[in-house]
Copies of this chain bind each other. A is one copy, B any other.
Amino acid sequence: PAFTGNFHLLPGRTNMTVSYTLEVADARFCGFCKLLFRWKGSIYKLLYKDFLLFCGVYLFFSLFYRFLLTPRQQDLFERVALYCDHFTNTSFIPVLFVLGFYVTLAFNRWWGQYTSFPLPDNLMMVVSGNVHGADERGRLLRRTLMRYANLSSVLILRSISTRVHKRFPTLEHIVEAGFMTTHELKNFESLHSDFNKYWMPLTWFSNLASRAREEGRELNKYRGKCSLLFHYDWISIPLVYTQVVTLAVYSFFAFCVVGRQFLNPEKGYKDHKLDMYVPVFTLLQFFFYAGWLKVGELIINPFGEDDDDFETNQLIDRNFQVSMLAVDDMYQNLAPIVKDKHWA
């Protein structure tokens, strides 16, 4: 599998998502340089189509202005261009501000969603420490409890992550993957509720371990995270906000396409003394602003299939494997306790 625990650089580092923390561990000479030449998860990969479109439209207007217009029409075009330019040059369109505030909000939600990801680690330790018995009944109990916990997170992730939904298009697929038995599926389906039923396996957990205070507490935390994930998905940043930001950026570049044309240097318009054909600067601006907007797009829903999105399927596997190991294989499996090296 992709997630081997023996990454080429440091052990335990994984190649999930796009992690580059290690490469910038030291602030060296030209530290972030190398990050500019990565393709996977890069701004280039995200933007190149939009960039080509922008260039195409710019080119169209450029050719249009230079070759298709009569001198009189050119005059009009120039005045329109100057008018547009007037507005793109100054701080009229509040691109920067709205982007700054918007991306900061989106970023906070993004990290909030990541830290809401339900991990079974605490629960498995509590189960391993409190549900005893090395016999089959004990093993069965511990494994079933952890399976319920994992099932719940699969159910919630299925409704918010496109990746997980593709993997488990129907509940039968979940049964097949071993997260659920057919009995449980029947049980699950027999309960009619108009609302998302991801919490059901957690109630089974609670019923199975009904007098265990400590498990109850950890279970509630686990359930709280599932629930928070559900709510993050449900309550988006208000559509209006996203529309305002998008409108600002898109209209800014719409004006740029006309306003940033190189006008005939001979006509002596202010700041139009040079015809460079390629508007290097405007293209850079495109990268900054459209790139920043893409950051927002990317992190507004981290459960999609972008390079930078959370590798939900691998996390599900990791959680299931790890919780089975902890409550079953490792149960009461201790190395002999001997004096340590520093014993004095």
Cα distance, A107 to B104, chains bound together (Å): 12
Cα distance, A339 to B122, chains bound together (Å): 23
Indicate which residue in B129, B200, B303, B309 contacts A206 across the interface (CB closer than 8 Å): B129
Q: Assess whether A300 is in contact with B24, with CB atoms less than 8 Å apart.
A: yes
Closest to A87 in B: B281
Chain A contacts with B in 1-51, Cβ cutoff 8 A = 1, 3-5, 10-14, 16-22, 24-27, 29-33, 35-36, 38, 41-43, 46, 49-50
Q: Assess whether B10 is in contact with A165, with CB atoms less than 8 Å apart.
A: yes
Q: Assess whether B207 is in contact with A331, with CB atoms less than 8 Å apart.
A: yes
Q: Assess whether B158 is in contact with A11, with CB atoms less than 8 Å apart.
A: yes
Residue count of chain A within 8 Å CB distance of chain B: 185
A240 sits at the interface (CB 8 A) = yes
Interface string of A117-140 (1 = CB under 8 A from B): 001011001101110100000001
Identical chains bound together, number: 5
A194 sits at the interface (CB 8 A) = yes
Indicate which residue in B43, B132, B143, B206 contacts A243 across the interface (CB closer than 8 Å): B43
Chain A contacts with B in 59-84, Cβ cutoff 8 A = 79-80, 82-83
Q: Assess whether B21 is in contact with A300, with CB atoms less than 8 Å apart.
A: yes
Which residues of chain B are within 8 angstroms of A326 by Cβ–Cβ distance?
A: 199, 203
Contacts beyond the supplied A22-B301, A89-B90, A194-B317: 20 A-B pairs with Cβ under 8 Å:
A10-B162, A20-B236, A21-B233, A26-B306, A27-B294, A30-B50, A42-B239, A42-B243, A46-B240, A86-B271, A105-B107, A121-B223, A125-B216, A129-B211, A129-B216, A177-B341, A191-B330, A207-B330, A244-B291, A320-B342
Pick the 6 closest A-B CB pairs, nearest first. Answer: A25-B304, A178-B341, A12-B159, A12-B196, A183-B335, A29-B49
Supply 13 A–B pairs (Cβ within 8 Å), ascending by A: A13-B160, A41-B240, A105-B107, A125-B220, A125-B223, A129-B210, A140-B337, A147-B340, A191-B325, A193-B321, A199-B322, A208-B334, A238-B299
